[in-house]
A and B are shown apart, each in its own frame.
Chain A
Amino acid sequence: MPRTNILAGAVWLFTAAAIFAGCENSIEPLAEDANSFVFLNGFLDTATDSQFVRLEGLRPTILAAPRDLSGVDVLTVDRTSGEIVVWKDSLVVLKDGSDGHLYMGLFTPQEGHDYEFVVRRPGLEAATATTTIPDEPEIQVSTPTGDTIVFTQKASLRDVFSAPSTLAMRYDVSIPETGEIQTFMIDYGIEGGAAGTGWSFDVFLFRDQQIISFSLGLPTNVASLALRRIAAGVVINSAEWNRQENPTNLALAQGFFGSVGRFELGWKLDPSDVFKMGFLDEQDLWMGAKQDLFRRKTVLLAVPRQ
């Protein structure tokens, strides 16, 4: 009796179908470990002893307030030296008038060291961010070439293969009449390119002398200034800056965490080359150490938390 069997089978199947009416039907939009996530934004800077990072919990919906971070411990671990620094919370007034949390760590990051930024909360897995402070690159220079109009020197930052975020030439010159020493910084933008051993760029010796003399109102065709020191000023970002869209150094965290290294890389020119570029040579009189012209201004926006 196939038709009877069919009907019985159909009734069975459709009844079984109806049983599904009571199945689980809810949606959980938030991931299981959503509470563990934090937002952070900031970077470590070798040129300052005060580091700042914005830190807050994520918001469960767009318009909700950030999740509470009370009881949180924030610290950095220098994985190279083992040093641990506990960061302090401070409140900052954001541009829309609301409060933001700015954490401050009092230390100067060391070149080439690995740092881990750790956010610990009771009962939750720690959120972390890591960065490696860029190493100071070695600078290699070649013999200057060209005539008095186009007189350049090839320089190379060894093992730097992406453009420095800042590249400038620093010239310390003395004015013979007064003995005053002035420092000039000439921004080179993203001059140069990656070559075999590193980032290679041209130093425009004659052009830079012309700029300096002109800025002091001195004749550009008479050697009236003496060169005390020539150096390249370089700011190198850590790898995280190139991966801001897809960071790989954050765990249970969103935002950005990186570092910068600021370096002055000087060298000595041959006296004949100094003369050729239009300066008198006083490089042997240079007594100073590295100066902190690259040092960023200390941010004083934060106030101690009450």
Chain B
Amino acid sequence: MLAVVVLLLAAGCFAKDAAAQYGSVRGSVFDADLRDELPGATIILDDLDGEKKFVVTGTDGLFSFHRIFPGDYSISVSFLGFVTQTDSILVALGTEIFLEIRLDPSEIEMEELVVETVRTEADRFVAGLDAVLPEDLTRIPMPDVSYDLAGYLLTLPGFVSPGDRGGQLFVRGGTPTQNLFLLDGMNIYQPFHIVGFFSAFPADIVAYADVYAGGFSARYGGRISSVIDISTRNGSKRKPKGAISIAPFMSTLRVEAPVIKNQASILISVRQSLIEYVGPTFLGREIPFRFSDIFAKFHAFLNQTSSFTATVLRTKDQGNISGKGAFDENRRLSTWENEAYGVKYSYIPIDYPALFTFAVNYSRLVSQYKVSQTESRDSEANGMKFEMSFNYLLGSNRVDIGLFGNLDRFHYKLGRSARVSSFVSSGGAYVDTRFILNDIIRIEPGVRIESFSHGVSRTVAPRLRAIIQPKGKSSKHQFSFAVGRYHQQIIGLSNEQDVSDVFTIWAASPQSRPVPTATHYLAGWRGRILPWVELSIEGYLKNMDNIAFPVFTDQIFGQPNFARVSGQARGADFKMEIQVPDYFFSANYTLAKVEYFGNKTAPQGEAVIADDVFFPPHDRRHQVNVLGQVIRGRNKLSIRWQYGSGLPFTQVNGYYQFDRIRNAEDDSFLTSNGAAFVSRSSLYGARLPAYHRLDISYEYRIRRGDVATTFQIGAINVYDRDNIFEYNIFSGSRVNQLPFTPSLAVKVEVL
């Protein structure tokens, strides 16, 4: 508690008289030849100290940056088919600069190939979407100076994680296997590391991420809950760059360099955990987790019209999920390894405003949960994906057409039971469009048609999103709506009765049965009540059918079956964001409810859940995230507090030994002991204690020429809250999440 006050007081020391001393930059962008306005041109304003702002010109070719702190800036303007212009400007106190920028058409401007998504101000506010930029990731206090997308995702409203280990993520009622994680188009099955602050997506490689908590467009499929689509940046094509960081949890090496100057580059990121080794010395206790990842990306302009990208990702996690004692290979050892390989070819016709992309990706996950020396559970998922897309720009409107095919192979083996294999395929097409009807209304209708080898033969999934700005571009209020239908042929079976269990069986949906399906409805409002205060509210409703839910026998250690249930998730996210120079503050609150409905009857081989309604173990009703950041010169202080109401769990009545009576002539039950059984109380009828935690980090950054060094000190769980991670009802043992954990990190970057 004292530490909190001291740090908060320290934060106050950075505050000075914050009079509104701003300038502004406005302008218009024209085609230098035709003198036409250029809607959709990207303008980046760089304060030369790493802070970038960007906007996109509207239909009239105009743009503006407001409340710009006085100083020197670099401004860069780019647009598909034109030569990028870069210049420096000085923004003086209280002045408004108006720039008239004329872009010269280029025969081919290949750098635009990397800009595959043009985002306008309205794009920032789309129901269900959180558009994440790398600088967003660095706002989250982490025990690592390199930052990671995982830390950010856990601050988003509606994103529920049962704890800081194991990396399970539930998004607005959806389970981990209903979330689609894409890294440059490659599907990553289990992207979180065993320490949940970390994922396969370090901030250093992220260009941007589109995080859809629902209502995603027709170009995405195969999952029914959410999409986290991460685009990585290309390595530098001009000069070698790199970074190295050392931190107790994760240490990083990043190297990027031109392979052929200005034409081809490579980016390599290698991360390795150290916590297993430094834990006993640094923290005074064993932390039996090992995790690592390696990412490599090669990007090249093949000629003036096409580019090629090859991406590789490998991750490895291993640890005793209970987190107690030294690393032990024979006691509740969880292991998982992701592999993903992808290639992408992009082509821009010389005389046509379109982009053609062809991509092939292969992903694999091998996971094992070793219960004891002799018993283990194994699962393997392999997926091959082909996708061909055509993106047409029709003025400010856009039409995307895609063809895709998926081949998936799964194996799993539970204990001594036989290995089960399945193979499925799917294929189809989508049309995703964007029409800007006028300054007020933009609609994005789309449809995805997909055939599945298992389940129902063909699905048609319409999607629609709409954005309304009642007063056009000057509107302080925006409304956004989304509705869509979603299917997935792949199911994931995890021990949801124990949310801390990270082992998941990936399998095909049963043959000739309906596949899991969801329908999303979202509606949101965003308003800027003051120039520096933004409020937003978003409500959502997800109806889900044919959800696989594990059903455990009362016999202890009996093999679980699964029931096919339906469900509904609904809730509302409230968010406030305050941003002024040097200060950032956001707070969000989620009110949510997830209900599953029992199936009553089941076909042969499936289980029954007799309850009319029950609340699955990821039904978190209340969630609060508060984030504050102060940047003063070389100093940066970040504070985050999270609160989550208790998750449901099933209480027990007790245990008994039971020998089933086989028939009326069998008297052995009178004297036999039988096997151990558990008597469970009402399904998920009780709640675990609430979760809350305060994390703080402080950074000091110095730069000498092209070398920047960042020092970081921080602490996780500042007030040492005993947040529960796992409670074993059989043994009565409780495992808590990380206690108060200080960290010290340093990062050296060659810029």
A residues at B contact (CB < 8 Å): 1-4, 6-7, 9-11, 13-15, 17-18, 20-21, 23-31, 33-34, 37, 39, 41-43, 45, 52, 54, 56-62, 64, 66-67, 92-96, 98, 100, 102, 165-166, 235, 237, 244-246, 254-256, 260, 262, 296-297, 299, 301
C-alpha gap A60/B532 in the complex (Å): 57
**In the complex, chain B residues whose CB is within 8 Å of the CB of A17:** 626, 641, 643, 692, 694
Which of B18, B628, B630 contacts A1 (CB under 8 A)? Answer: B18
**CB pair B659 A7 closer than 8 Å:** no
**CB pair B664 A301 closer than 8 Å:** no
**CB pair A7 B15 closer than 8 Å:** yes
Contacts of B520-574 to chain A: CB distance below 8 A = 530, 532, 553-554, 556
C-alpha gap A27/B731 in the complex (Å): 13
**In the complex, chain A residues whose CB is within 8 Å of the CB of B654:** 30, 34, 37, 57-60, 67
Q: How far is the CB of A122 from chain B (nearest CB, A)?
A: 19
**In the complex, chain B residues whose CB is within 8 Å of the CB of A62:** 556, 655, 676, 730-731
**In the complex, chain B residues whose CB is within 8 Å of the CB of A59:** 654-656
B732 at the interface (CB under 8 A from A): yes
**In the complex, chain B residues whose CB is within 8 Å of the CB of A165:** 663-664
C-alpha gap A248/B731 in the complex (Å): 28
C-alpha gap A48/B686 in the complex (Å): 45
C-alpha gap A91/B299 in the complex (Å): 79
Q: How far is the CB of A299 from chain B (nearest CB, A)?
A: 6
**In the complex, chain A residues whose CB is within 8 Å of the CB of B694:** 14, 17-18
**CB pair B671 A95 closer than 8 Å:** yes
**CB pair B658 A21 closer than 8 Å:** no
**In the complex, chain B residues whose CB is within 8 Å of the CB of A64:** 655
**CB pair B653 A33 closer than 8 Å:** yes
A23-B689, A94-B672 are known contacts. Are A11 and B8 too (CB-CB below 8 A)?
Answer: yes
Q: How far is the CB of A87 from chain B (nearest CB, A)?
A: 14
B residues at A contact (CB < 8 Å): 1, 4-5, 8, 11-12, 15, 17-19, 530, 532, 553-554, 556, 578, 580, 582-583, 585, 587, 608, 610, 626, 628, 630, 639, 641, 643, 651-661, 663-665, 667, 669-673, 676-677, 679, 681-682, 685-686, 688-690, 692, 694, 719-722, 724, 727, 729-732, 734
**21 A-B pairs (CB sep. < 8 Å):** A6-B580, A7-B583, A14-B4, A15-B5, A18-B1, A18-B719, A20-B721, A24-B689, A26-B689, A27-B688, A27-B734, A33-B653, A34-B652, A37-B654, A37-B679, A41-B661, A59-B656, A60-B654, A61-B731, A254-B554, A254-B679
Beyond the given pairs A31-B653, A34-B651, A58-B655, 14 more chain A to chain B contacts, judged by CB atoms under 8 angstroms and listed by A's residue number, are: A3-B582, A13-B626, A17-B626, A18-B1, A21-B720, A23-B690, A25-B722, A27-B724, A29-B651, A37-B679, A62-B731, A64-B655, A94-B673, A256-B661
**In the complex, chain B residues whose CB is within 8 Å of the CB of A237:** 664
Q: Which 8 A-B pairs have the closest CB atoms?
A: A58-B654, A3-B18, A31-B681, A39-B656, A17-B641, A31-B651, A37-B653, A260-B664
- Look across to chain B and name the residue whose beta carbon is closest to the beta carbon of A296: B665
**CB pair B672 A4 closer than 8 Å:** no
**CB pair B653 A13 closer than 8 Å:** no
**In the complex, chain A residues whose CB is within 8 Å of the CB of B665:** 166, 296
- Look across to chain A and name the residue whose beta carbon is closest to the beta carbon of B672: A95
**CB pair B641 A13 closer than 8 Å:** yes
C-alpha gap A39/B658 in the complex (Å): 8
**In the complex, chain A residues whose CB is within 8 Å of the CB of B630:** 7
- Look across to chain A and name the residue whose beta carbon is closest to the beta carbon of B582: A3
Q: How far is the CB of B695 from chain A (nearest CB, A)?
A: 11
**CB pair A95 B1 closer than 8 Å:** no
**In the complex, chain A residues whose CB is within 8 Å of the CB of B731:** 61-62
**CB pair A10 B585 closer than 8 Å:** yes
**In the complex, chain A residues whose CB is within 8 Å of the CB of B670:** 42, 52, 54, 92, 102, 299, 301
**CB pair A61 B655 closer than 8 Å:** yes
A18-B694, A20-B692, A56-B656 are known contacts. Are A3 and B664 too (CB-CB below 8 A)?
Answer: no
C-alpha gap A80/B611 in the complex (Å): 31
Which of B11, B664, B671, B677 contacts A94 (CB under 8 A)? Answer: B671
**In the complex, chain A residues whose CB is within 8 Å of the CB of B688:** 27
What is the interface of chain A mostly: helix, strand, loop, or mixed?
mixed
**In the complex, chain B residues whose CB is within 8 Å of the CB of A42:** 661, 669-670
**CB pair A4 B15 closer than 8 Å:** yes
C-alpha gap A100/B626 in the complex (Å): 58
**CB pair A3 B580 closer than 8 Å:** yes
**CB pair A41 B669 closer than 8 Å:** yes
A6-B578, A25-B722, A301-B671 are known contacts. Are A58 and B659 too (CB-CB below 8 A)?
Answer: no
**CB pair A41 B658 closer than 8 Å:** yes
**CB pair A14 B672 closer than 8 Å:** no
A28-B686, A301-B670 are known contacts. Are A45 and B664 too (CB-CB below 8 A)?
Answer: yes
**CB pair B652 A30 closer than 8 Å:** yes
Q: How far is the CB of A94 from chain B (nearest CB, A)?
A: 5
- Look across to chain A and name the residue whose beta carbon is closest to the beta carbon of B624: A17
- Look across to chain A and name the residue whose beta carbon is closest to the beta carbon of B688: A27
C-alpha gap A59/B587 in the complex (Å): 46
**In the complex, chain A residues whose CB is within 8 Å of the CB of B655:** 58-62, 64
- Look across to chain A and name the residue whose beta carbon is closest to the beta carbon of B678: A62
**CB pair B664 A34 closer than 8 Å:** no
**CB pair A2 B578 closer than 8 Å:** yes
Which of A6, A26, A33, A100 contacts B583 (CB under 8 A)? Answer: A6
Q: How far is the CB of A14 from chain B (nearest CB, A)?
A: 6
C-alpha gap A18/B554 in the complex (Å): 41
- Look across to chain B and name the residue whose beta carbon is closest to the beta carbon of A25: B689
**In the complex, chain B residues whose CB is within 8 Å of the CB of A2:** 18, 530, 532, 578, 580
- Look across to chain B and name the residue whose beta carbon is closest to the beta carbon of A299: B667
**CB pair B656 A96 closer than 8 Å:** no
Q: How far is the CB of B417 from chain A (nearest CB, A)?
A: 19
**In the complex, chain A residues whose CB is within 8 Å of the CB of B667:** 296-297, 299, 301
C-alpha gap A34/B729 in the complex (Å): 14
**CB pair B656 A14 closer than 8 Å:** no
C-alpha gap A21/B691 in the complex (Å): 10
**CB pair B656 A66 closer than 8 Å:** yes
- Of listed A52, A94, A255, residue having the most chain B CB within 10 A: A255
- Look across to chain B and name the residue whose beta carbon is closest to the beta carbon of A62: B655
**CB pair A14 B719 closer than 8 Å:** no
**In the complex, chain B residues whose CB is within 8 Å of the CB of A60:** 654-655
C-alpha gap A118/B709 in the complex (Å): 76
**In the complex, chain A residues whose CB is within 8 Å of the CB of B582:** 3
C-alpha gap A94/B663 in the complex (Å): 20
Which of A21, A28, A54, A299 contacts B719 (CB under 8 A)? Answer: A21
A41-B661, A246-B610, A260-B664 are known contacts. Are A20 and B656 too (CB-CB below 8 A)?
Answer: no
C-alpha gap A255/B672 in the complex (Å): 14
C-alpha gap A95/B720 in the complex (Å): 50
C-alpha gap A41/B17 in the complex (Å): 78
A6-B580, A7-B15, A31-B651 are known contacts. Are A21 and B660 too (CB-CB below 8 A)?
Answer: no
**In the complex, chain A residues whose CB is within 8 Å of the CB of B730:** 61-62
**In the complex, chain B residues whose CB is within 8 Å of the CB of A6:** 578, 580, 583, 585, 628
Q: How far is the CB of B603 from chain A (nearest CB, A)?
A: 16
A7-B15, A37-B654, A58-B653 are known contacts. Are A296 and B664 too (CB-CB below 8 A)?
Answer: yes
**In the complex, chain A residues whose CB is within 8 Å of the CB of B12:** 7, 11
**In the complex, chain A residues whose CB is within 8 Å of the CB of B692:** 17, 20, 23
- Look across to chain A and name the residue whose beta carbon is closest to the beta carbon of B728: A29
**In the complex, chain B residues whose CB is within 8 Å of the CB of A23:** 689-690, 692
**In the complex, chain A residues whose CB is within 8 Å of the CB of B721:** 20-21, 25
- Look across to chain A and name the residue whose beta carbon is closest to the beta carbon of B696: A14
C-alpha gap A33/B681 in the complex (Å): 9
C-alpha gap A25/B587 in the complex (Å): 24
- Look across to chain B and name the residue whose beta carbon is closest to the beta carbon of A297: B667
**CB pair A92 B671 closer than 8 Å:** yes
- Look across to chain A and name the residue whose beta carbon is closest to the beta carbon of B687: A27
**CB pair A34 B671 closer than 8 Å:** no
C-alpha gap A296/B5 in the complex (Å): 79
**CB pair B652 A31 closer than 8 Å:** yes
**In the complex, chain B residues whose CB is within 8 Å of the CB of A28:** 651, 686
C-alpha gap A9/B533 in the complex (Å): 13
